[in-house]
Amino acid sequence: MALVVQKFGGTSVADPEKILAAARKAIRAQQDGKQVVVVVSAMGHNTDHLVDLAAQVSDSPPAREMDMLLSTGEQVSVALMAMAVHSLGYQAVSLTGAQMGIQTDSSFTKARIRSISAERINRLLADGNIVIAAGFQGIDEDLNITTLGRGGSDTTAVALAAVLHADACEIHTDVDGVYTTDPRQLPEARQLSQISYDEMLELASLGAGVMHNRSIEFAKKYDVPIHVRSSFSDTKGTLICGSSESKTAPVCGAAMTKNEARITIQGVPDKPGSSSTIFKLMAEKKITVDMIVQNIGQQDRADISFTVPKEELSKAAKVVATAVEQVGAAGFTQDDEVSKISVVGLGMAEQTGVAQQMFRSLADAGINIQMITTSEIKISVLVERAQALAALRAVHQTFSLHQRPADAAEWDEIPERKASQADIDKLVTDLRKADMEQLSLSEISLSDDQARVTLLGVPDSPGLAASVFEAVAQAGIFVDMIVQSYDGFQGETGISFSIPRSQFQAAQKVAEELQKQFEVKRVLCSQDIAKLSVSGIGLRSHTSVAIGMFEVLAAENINVEMINTSELRVNVVVKSAAGRQALVCMQKKFSENLV
Ligand code: ASP
Ligand code: MG
């Protein structure tokens, strides 16, 4: 029998009328012949109110008690929802996280699901009930109530859909789907008909606000199609599945992470172990590090820049001060007036010129790029916050995101899950043994057929990156990884990019021409590089991956020359001679996580 999981977020159950409307939706799905599990969040801003209440009695409420408190929000909604279904003449049973057997670890306020036992839910469904499940909560080994982190009901919904072999997971929310960018920021944003898991994962982690990023990790891992749709109408929303909306468009969405802060550690001794020490200290203090950039150093010193959420800057700065001493760096600078603008799209992995087009649009809008990092399917730049909205608009415009691509996919039915019943059964059994949210890495790879071009001391002004990558594209050179570091060790901006080694000579020539044209102080080209990449799901919620990579390299006495991170991949560049050795050690380090 078909089974659907329907999740209703806070705004969709904000008052009694809305709860009744949601109950009617669930009943309609049951009348369509489906078994229905409804996952609900706390009503309206209830969770915020509870957080607020806690703050009024304590400056630092114990995390365990926070979870005890926050979980009550969902308990209210499930009970009311079950009553609503009853009042409409149908059967429903509400369950808390503990009652439905959602086992988590004990990291209060951000617990991870370990296992879910489907038996009780299945029994209730078989008896004709609509099961109303409390989102966001679980229980640890000692029967303590835990919560999954803000926005965690999405994760509950997708995890239940995975375990119950649901045909789909519907996310009913106050927007009618996933947009090319946040429509509250840009009214010209367009609703996507579908989007791939990887794209959604990058966008969600960039704060696209539609879904909790961990829920997308689950969906990808267990191949659960997600239908994001309006809770106030029955119109078709956006399907999150295995493929993108368009096969030809390079970019499917853009995002602005408004409140970022940048830290640059200057003059870090360019030797094994430095990055490992720095980021371990940050992790110990639980600081969320994003957008790590390390460019090629000079005179045995390199700069490492990274961003943190603006509100964590003061805490981060204290840790960085310690790190500076420990590694013997020259010092650090900080700026809390920056925002990150990113574009995401599976298509860019196969097309050239995407970065250049983004940089040109920013240059034409008079916007200076402070930092650049790229991954296979994402390009992020750091800009001054005052220009962030203009930057978002410029990139949205240049990739015509407001227009539906001519080859946009249309869907009528939720696609069948690719995993066979047997595959899913096996997964569910495995889940009982292992941690459901365990980091799963898809690949650890070495590419040693690349070369690197570095321009040091480039003028820090709008249009520079655009001109550089236009010239490179014109010469027919395929650019892989781009790193632009913040004002370098001696107050110099550096741009590095990697290219196929076969194009080394051509790239060198372009670099020399650029040097003449733009007062670039130094051009450093090298064929002596090896790039190591670790990719997979969960890199964002497992910062340990980047740290693990740095640790392995430090232990092997291998120097990290360049770093570049994204949600789905961490890249580091080392000397060619060390490539193999680094690969073998990383494979050993992460062997348990490889799937
Ligand atoms: N009520 C929780 C929150 O506001 C969980 C959720 O809504 O997903 O974060
Ligand atoms: Mg929510």
Question: Do 479 and 465 form a contact (C-beta atoms < 8 A)?
Answer: no
Half-sphere exposure of 92 (CA within 13 A, CB side): 28
* Residue 500 in tokens: 């196929």
Confidence check: pLDDT of 431 > 60? no
Beta bridge partners of 382: 340, 371
C-alpha to C-alpha distance for 372 and 213, rounded to whole angstroms: 23
Quick one: pLDDT at residue 392? Answer: 97
Is residue 577 classed as helix, strand or coil in its secondary structure?
A: helix
**328-375 pLDDT tens trace:** 999 999 999 999 999 999 999 888 789 999 999 999 999 999 889 888
Ligand 1 near 42 CB (within 6 A): yes
Residue nearest to atom 6 of ligand 1 (CA): 151
The H-assigned helical ranges of 447-589 are 464-474, 504-518, 544-555, 576-589
Percent of residues, the chain, with pLDDT higher than 90: 62
Sequential DSSP letters for 503-516: GHHHHHHHHHHHHH
Pocket test for ligand 1, best of 136, 155, 231 (most atoms within 8 A of CB): 136
Q: What are phi and psi of 38, to 5 degrees?
A: -105, 130
Ligand 1 near 173 CB (within 6 A): no
C-alpha to C-alpha distance for 174 and 172, rounded to whole angstroms: 7
The 3 state secondary structure assigned to 351-394 is CCCHHHHHHHHHHHCCCCCCEEEEECCEEEEEEEHHHHHHHHHH
Question: Do 155 and 213 form a contact (C-beta atoms < 8 A)?
Answer: no
Q: Tell me the C-alpha to C-alpha distance, in Å, between residue 169 and each of 19, 238, 417.
A: 19, 12, 11
Quick one: pLDDT at residue 435? Answer: 65
C-alpha to C-alpha distance for 63 and 102, rounded to whole angstroms: 19
Beta bridge partners of 255: 342
Ligand 1 near 171 CB (within 6 A): no
Cβ contacts of 225 within 8 Å, gap of 6 or more: 167, 168, 169, 219, 239, 240, 241, 414, 415, 417
| Residue 433 pLDDT grade (very low, low, confident, very high; cuts 50, 70, 90) | low
Ligand 1 near 275 CB (within 6 A): no
Of the given ranges (15-19, 20-24, 403-407, 520-524), which has the lowest mean pLDDT? 520-524
Ligand 1 near 41 CB (within 6 A): yes
Dihedral sign computed on CA atoms, order 177, 181, 186, 187: negative
Task: Report how far ligand 1's centroid is from the alpha carbon of 84 (Å).
Answer: 21
Cβ contacts of 58 within 8 Å, gap of 6 or more: none
Confidence check: pLDDT of 279 > 70? yes
- Residue 45 CA: nearest ligand 1 atom is 4
The H-assigned helical ranges of 88-212 are 119-126, 153-163, 197-205
Residue nearest to atom 9 of ligand 1 (CA): 150
Q: If you average pLDDT over residues 450-467, what whole number do you get?
A: 86
Task: Report how far ligand 2's centroid is from the alpha carbon of 421 (Å).
Answer: 30
Burial tier of 445 (Cβ tally within 10 Å: 0-12, 13-18, 19+): middle
| Residue 428 pLDDT grade (very low, low, confident, very high; cuts 50, 70, 90) | low
- Ligand nearest the Cα atom of residue 45: 1
Task: Report how far ligand 1's centroid is from the alpha carbon of 37 (Å).
Answer: 18
Tokens 């901006």 sit on residue: 493
Ligand 1 near 73 CB (within 6 A): yes
Domains of the chain: 3-243 (3.40.1160.10), 254-401+441-593 (3.30.2130.10)
First to last CA, the chain: 31
Choice between 181 and 473, residue whose per-residue pLDDT is larger: 181
In this structure, the strands spanning 569-574 and 530-537 are: antiparallel
- Residue 10 CA: nearest ligand 1 atom is 7
Q: What are phi and psi of 516, to 5 degrees?
A: -65, -45
Q: If you average pLDDT over residues 210-238, what whole number do you get?
A: 89
- Ligand nearest the Cα atom of residue 43: 1
Confidence check: pLDDT of 397 > 70? yes
Mean of the per-residue pLDDT values for the chain? Answer: 90
Ligand 1 near 47 CB (within 6 A): yes
Ligand 1 near 489 CB (within 6 A): no
Task: Report how far ligand 2's centroid is from the alpha carbon of 213 (Å).
Answer: 12
* Gyration radius from the chain CA atoms: 25
DSSP structure class, residue 298:
B
**410-424 pLDDT tens trace:** 888 888 776 666 776
Tokens 């650090």 sit on residue: 332
Half-sphere exposure of 49 (CA within 13 A, CB side): 8
Its pTM stands at 0.88
Q: Give the burial string for 537-569 (b: 16+ CB within 10 Å, else e).
A: bbbbbbbbbbbbbbbbbbeeebbbbbbbbbbbb
Confidence check: pLDDT of 17 > 60? yes
Quick one: pLDDT at residue 412? Answer: 84
Of the given ranges (269-283, 343-357, 488-502), which has the lowest mean pLDDT? 488-502
- Ligand nearest the Cα atom of residue 110: 1
C-alpha to C-alpha distance for 248 and 396, rounded to whole angstroms: 16
Helix axes 354-364, 388-398, angle to 10 degrees: 130
Choice between 445 and 438, residue whose per-residue pLDDT is larger: 445
| Residue 522 pLDDT grade (very low, low, confident, very high; cuts 50, 70, 90) | confident
Long-range contacts of 10-13 (CB under 8 A, 24+ apart): 10/41, 10/42, 10/43, 10/44, 10/45, 10/46, 10/47, 11/44, 11/173, 11/174, 11/231, 12/172, 12/173, 12/174, 12/231, 12/232, 13/40, 13/41, 13/43, 13/44, 13/77, 13/80, 13/81
Ligand 1 near 8 CB (within 6 A): no
Dihedral sign computed on CA atoms, order 437, 533, 282, 594: positive
Ligand 1 near 136 CB (within 6 A): yes
